[in-house]
Amino acid sequence: MILTLKLDVTEKQIQETITKIEELGFKAHTSRGAQRVTLGVIGQNAASYREVFEGYDWIESITLISKPYKLASREWKKSDTVVSVDGLEIGAKRIVVVAGPCAVENSEILLQIAKAVKKAGATILRGGAFKPRTSPYSFQGLGEDGLKMLADARSETGLKIVTEAMSPSQVELVSRYADMLQIGARNMQNYDLLKEVGQAEKPVLLKRGMSATVEELLMSAEYILSQGNKNVVLCERGIRTFETSTRFTLDLNAIPVIKRQSHLPVIVDPSHGTGVRSLVPVMAGAAVAAGADGLLIEVHTEPNRALSDGKQSIYPETLKETIERIRAIAECLGREV
C-alpha cells in the first residue's frame, strides 16, 4: 500500500506516520521525490489497514499495489531506477558493458583479459572467484585469492568489479573486495542469501533462475529491496526450454515485460543465454534493440584453455566488434555506449 502525502506535510507528521506503520508491524519505505513524499507500507495484508490511514488528514491518497511484488513494481516507483556501481550508472542513457572471464584463473590471465576488455570499451570487469558448478569435480574457483586478483585488476585498470557470492556467509567477504555482488541463476531463490545481500552496502546483480518466471525474478528482487538495498540490477541469462541447439533460450521478451512491470534496470547475458561463441555478438545486438540497459559478456584471451565456459567466451577483438555493433543500434534508440 502506498501513502502519498500532501505537499505541505511536515517532518513531524511524516515521522508520526512511519511510527504508526511500524507499530502495526509493517516496514515503512520512504521515497522523497522532488515535490512529494510517499510512504510504502510493506508487509502481509497491509491493505487491510487502509482505514487506519484514511484518518490522517496529511495523506493525499492511498493506493493499493496489485502485484505480489511491491517495491520492485512500477506502481511503487514510476521513474526508471539508475543504480550506481561506485559512480558508474546502470539504467541511465549509456548502455553498460560488463565483461571478463567466467572464472578468475590466475592473476596474469585476469589482468590480460581486464586490459583487453577495457580497451574494447567495457567498464565493469566480471569474473567468478566462487563458482557454482554443476559437477563437484569441476574447477570451483580460487576463493579469496581470486577476489584479491580482481581488486588488483581494478587498481591496474580502473574497471569496476562484479563477482558472485554463493552463500550468506560469503557476502561480507565478497563485499570487502567487489563493487557489485552477483547472485547467480542457481541462487535466485536462495532467500537467506537474498536477505543477506539486501543488508549489504553494495549494489546487486540478480540473475534470473533458468526455470524462473519473470514474476519469480521480481519476487526475488523484492527480497533484496525489502531489506533496504535499493540498488538491484536484473539480468536475463536464458531459460530452459525444449530447444537443444543452444545451451539455454535467451528470453528477450523478458526485457520489455520487466520494463513494463518494474522500474529496475535490466541487463542481458548472451553468453550463458546461448552457450555458443558465434551467437554472442548478434544476440547482444538483439538485447540492446529490445531495450537492455547493459550486457554481461564472457571474454577470454585463450578461450580454448579456459577453466570454465570457454565455448561461449568470445575473444577481446570480437568484444570490440560487438560494442561497435551495439553502439550503432543504441544510437538509433537515442542511447549511447
CB of 171 to ligand PEP, least distance (A): 16
Which residue number places its CB atom closest to ligand PEP?
184
CB of 313 to ligand PEP, least distance (A): 10
- From the list ligand PEP, Mn ion, none, pick the one residue 158 interacts with, judged by a Cβ distance below 5 to 8 Å according to partner type: none
C-alpha dihedral (306, 307, 308, 312), degrees to nearest 10: 10
- From the list Mn ion, ligand PEP, none, pick the one residue 33 interacts with, judged by a Cβ distance below 5 to 8 Å according to partner type: none
- From the list Mn ion, ligand PEP, none, pick the one residue 265 interacts with, judged by a Cβ distance below 5 to 8 Å according to partner type: none
Cα dihedral sign, 318-319-324-327: positive
Binding mask 104-133 for ligand PEP (x = CB under 6 A): ------------------------x---x-
Footprint (CB under 6 A) of ligand PEP, residues 247-286: 272
CB of 113 to ligand PEP, least distance (A): 14
104 sits in the region (left: phi over 0; alpha: psi -120 to 50; else beta) called beta
Nearer to ligand PEP, 132 or 158 (CB): 132
Binding of ligand PEP at residue 207 (CB under 6 A)?
Answer: yes
Footprint (CB under 6 A) of ligand PEP, residues 223-252: 237
d(CA 270, CA 64): 37
Query: DSSP for 94-150?
Result: BPEEEEE-SB---HHHHHHHHHHHHHHT--EEE-BSS---SSTTS----THHHHHHH
The one among 91, 184, 198, 294 contacting ligand PEP by CB under 6 A: 184
Binding of Mn ion at residue 251 (CB under 5 A)?
Answer: no
C-alpha dihedral (208, 209, 210, 214), degrees to nearest 10: -60
156: number of Cβ within 10 Å:
13
The one among 5, 97, 102, 204 contacting Mn ion by CB under 5 A: 102
- From the list Mn ion, ligand PEP, none, pick the one residue 185 interacts with, judged by a Cβ distance below 5 to 8 Å according to partner type: ligand PEP
- From the list ligand PEP, Mn ion, none, pick the one residue 307 interacts with, judged by a Cβ distance below 5 to 8 Å according to partner type: none
C-alpha dihedral (109, 115, 116, 122), degrees to nearest 10: 120
d(CA 116, CA 130): 23
Which residues here bind Mn ion, judged by CB under 5 A? 102, 309
Which residues here bind ligand PEP, judged by CB under 6 A? 102, 128, 132, 184-186, 207, 237, 272
